[in-house]
Amino acid sequence: MNNETVQLPAQWSTFAPEVDGVFYFIYWVSVVMFVAVVGAALYFVWKYRRQKPGEIPEPTGHNTVLEVGWTISPLVLLIYLFHVGFQGYVNLTMPPANAMEIRARARKWSWDFEYPNGSHTVNELYVPVNRPVRVVISSEDVLHALFIPEFRVKRDAVPGYYSTLWFQATRTTGRDTQAVRFYCAEYCGAAETAGGPSNPREGRRPEYDWTGHFSMGGWTYVLDQADFDRKMEELNGPPTVNGREATPAEWGELLYRQQNCNTCHSVNGTAMTGPTWQNIWGHEVDLADGSRVMVDENYLRASILRPNAQVVRGFQPVMPTYAGSLNDRQIDAIIAYIRTLH
């Protein structure tokens, strides 16, 4: 069902059938041409083999029709080939407007992927099935290239530039099936390293401890939308501190800094662009519209998702919404952190 052939890997994206169609068209044209030319040559070699030394065959003649014919006629095929090749290329370079965006950052010798919710994976790529995904690629050092054979896509990572590729995966792999490999396809060196290849799923291979161009890859996991969303949630789950899962309050403190809440909200009572978080929990505050509200879970959650609906008096309605960039568990964690600020 995955249409893998002797020559081509499994088809896993919407491009694959089109690219493979062009590939096999050229392949069969080539087979016919090869058999015709080499077959004719071998037949002539046998048929007109030398009978005795010194024989003088009839002088080579001219056949203008034949010569002009085989000079001009390949043009028809070549123009057609260019046409289908270019058509496929246009599709490969024109992502739909609604494509989900993933940032890929290449460096010697790993890939960092950043997802719309801000989570990261290293040397593992998660993508949703049946949804266009646009990958914006950059490099931090030398040339690299992102190559996913099953998707039939490839694009160089050039330092100082952004380059893009896009694809739409057509089948899921599940969370653990190593079926769709991505590679670095542009040579980028190698070095001895203590840890071996850094792909977490592959572990260390005892026979060598080299990383480089050849180890700069990993597996792509294609998940259905619900599973993908869950994975994204998990990636955004509580971090590990001191070898255990962080408490909600600890995680909230981390997010306070990671999400740059600290640029507007102090935790020591100082009013900045926004109200301080110290001693705010459980107290009533005056709002800009003259009403009063109790600062509880519901008010804090509403203020994170729709910040300018209930603005505290004396402050400007300038806070951006965090809907979409913070998930429910992260919001819970921030609330838990605020509760500790007495």
Q: Which token pair is 98?
A: 């609604």
Q: Which token pair is 232?
A: 């994204």
Which are the contacts of 265, defined by CB distance < 8 A and separation ≥ 6? 256, 272, 274, 275, 276, 277
Handedness of CA 264, 270, 271, 276 (dihedral sign): positive
329 and 322 Cβ atoms separated by less than 8 Å? no
d(CA 231, CA 124): 12
In the complex, the smallest distance separating the C-beta of residue 49 from other proteins, rounded to whole angstroms, is: 5
Site pattern 205..244 for other proteins (x: CB under 8 A): x-xx-xxxxxx-----------------------------
Q: Residue 70 interacts with other proteins (CB under 8 A)?
A: yes
In the complex, the smallest distance separating the C-beta of residue 138 from other proteins, rounded to whole angstroms, is: 11
In the complex, the smallest distance separating the C-beta of residue 128 from other proteins, rounded to whole angstroms, is: 22
Residue nearer to other proteins on the CB measure, 148 or 333: 148
Q: Residue 245 interacts with other proteins (CB under 8 A)?
A: no
Which are the contacts of 110, defined by CB distance < 8 A and separation ≥ 6? 122, 123, 198, 216
d(CA 306, CA 321): 6
Of 2, 3, 89, 130, the residue at the interface with other proteins (CB under 8 A) is: 89
In the complex, the smallest distance separating the C-beta of residue 121 from other proteins, rounded to whole angstroms, is: 20
Q: Residue 312 interacts with other proteins (CB under 8 A)?
A: no
5 and 149 Cβ atoms separated by less than 8 Å? no
Site pattern 268..307 for other proteins (x: CB under 8 A): ----------------------------------------
Site pattern 183..202 for other proteins (x: CB under 8 A): xxxxxxxxxx----------
Q: By CB under 8 A, how many residues form the interface with other proteins?
A: 87
In the complex, the smallest distance separating the C-beta of residue 226 from other proteins, rounded to whole angstroms, is: 29
In the complex, the smallest distance separating the C-beta of residue 152 from other proteins, rounded to whole angstroms, is: 5
317 and 222 Cβ atoms separated by less than 8 Å? no
Residue 100, strand partner residues: 133
Site pattern 9..28 for other proteins (x: CB under 8 A): x--------xx--xx--xx-
Helix 74-93 / helix 64-72 crossing angle, nearest 10 deg? 0
Of 1, 48, 226, 242, the residue at the interface with other proteins (CB under 8 A) is: 48
Handedness of CA 43, 44, 45, 47 (dihedral sign): positive
213 and 182 Cβ atoms separated by less than 8 Å? no
Of 3, 29, 245, 316, the residue at the interface with other proteins (CB under 8 A) is: 29
Q: Of 125-164, which residues contact other proteins (CB under 8 A)?
A: 141-143, 145, 147, 149-150, 152-156, 158-161, 163
d(CA 223, CA 148): 16
Residue nearer to other proteins on the CB measure, 10 or 293: 10
Q: Residue 76 interacts with other proteins (CB under 8 A)?
A: no
Q: Residue 30 interacts with other proteins (CB under 8 A)?
A: yes
d(CA 141, CA 165): 20
210 and 164 Cβ atoms separated by less than 8 Å? no
Q: Which stretch binds other proteins (CB under 8 A): 70-78, 99-107, 235-243, 298-306?
A: 70-78
